[in-house]
Amino acid sequence: MTVESQIHAAAVELIAPGARIERVHRFRRQPYPFPAALRLDTVDGPIDCVVKTATGQRELTTEADALVVLAELDFAAPRLLAGPTVVDTDAGRIEVLVMTRLPGDALPWFGVDDVATADRTCRLIIEAVDRLHALTPRVEALSAGSAIPRRTLGQELTDVIGRDTGWSSTDTFTDAVDVLADVLPRHEVPLVFSNGDYNPVNALADDTGLTGWVDFEHAGLEDPLIGFPKFGFWAQDSGWRLASQVGLVERYLYRHRVPPETFAVRVALRGLTHLHDSDPADPPLIMIDQIERAVDELKSRG
């Protein structure tokens, strides 16, 4: 039995012992064949579920906590069926989460060359993000909401300064840190509920519109704009360039009347976070350029 099969079998035992796996649909194959949708054949009828595994600490715990909250709010997100649970496999102990499967398909995002499809994806992901943010007061009002992590811009800047990498002493880095330390307090806004990853493939839809959100591994109360700079950082990547082609970020900023300097703070800050994770021997030139432009924008505003 493969490790993948061992995880599938463990999921079956968690939610429907004795059931037979009728069908497996892998949402991806690399780097791991998870998450995966399973159709289970039980004596009471078929069960559709999704199995996830995690490589990072607390990712599935965060997701489980978020799903509990979202279930209380009757929000269109998966319902938690089991886990997170540690499963013994031939590859070692792996954490597993099992949840329901939502209707709909991921918003078209990769290899889209049809203008109407690209425009619809753009409009729907903006609507989907707004729906998440609108949950904020209800999430905070729940006792279960206290389990949702909080991430402020100030905390992110502290984390950036506290890390020591090959970028820490570069002019790009030190200049950005100096400017952010001065202007950031003026640009913090109330936190909002987020799934932590605005990748459009995490929003599901059918012909009638949005059907729900998936992937809450990085859910939390965070700055409402901090999830958008990455669309610019990866603009030349085949999996991300659609955002720049349809003006996704620009549309969102215009819709919410976000001043240029306000977004520049987020570009510079999140850029430094990602910069720490990159190799100075292979510098992310687009990201560096956007960080420096954002810093120049902030300097020009005094």
Here the CATH number for the domain that contains residue 93 is 3.30.200.20
pTM above 0.95, yes or no: no
Residue 296: CB atoms within 10 Å: 14
Question: Is the pLDDT reported for residue 302 higher than 70?
Answer: no
The pLDDT of residue 129 is 97
Q: List the one residue out of 267, 261, 262, 256 whose CA is nearest residue 300.
A: 261
**Residue 37: both structure tokens together:** 């949708």
Q: Are residues 209 and 184 in the same domain?
A: yes
Per-residue pLDDT tens for 107-161? 988 888 888 998 999 999 999 999 999 999 999 999 999 999 999 999 999 999 9
Average pLDDT estimate for 237-256: 88
Q: Which of 57, 80, 100 is the last residue of a domain?
A: 100
Strand stretches in the chain, DSSP E: 20-26, 36-42, 45-53, 80-89, 92-100, 105-106, 150-151, 192-194, 203-206, 209-213, 220-222
Which domain covers residue 51, as residue numbers? 3-100
- Residues above pLDDT 70, as percent of the chain: 99
User: What amino acid occupies position 225?
Assistant: L
Residues 115 and 37 in one domain: no
Picking from 100, 129, 147, the residue at the C-terminal end of a domain is 100
pLDDT at position 240, please?
79
CATH number at 286 reads 3.90.1200.10
For the chain, percent of residues with pLDDT exceeding 90: 76
Residues 269 and 153: beta-carbon distance below 8 Å: yes
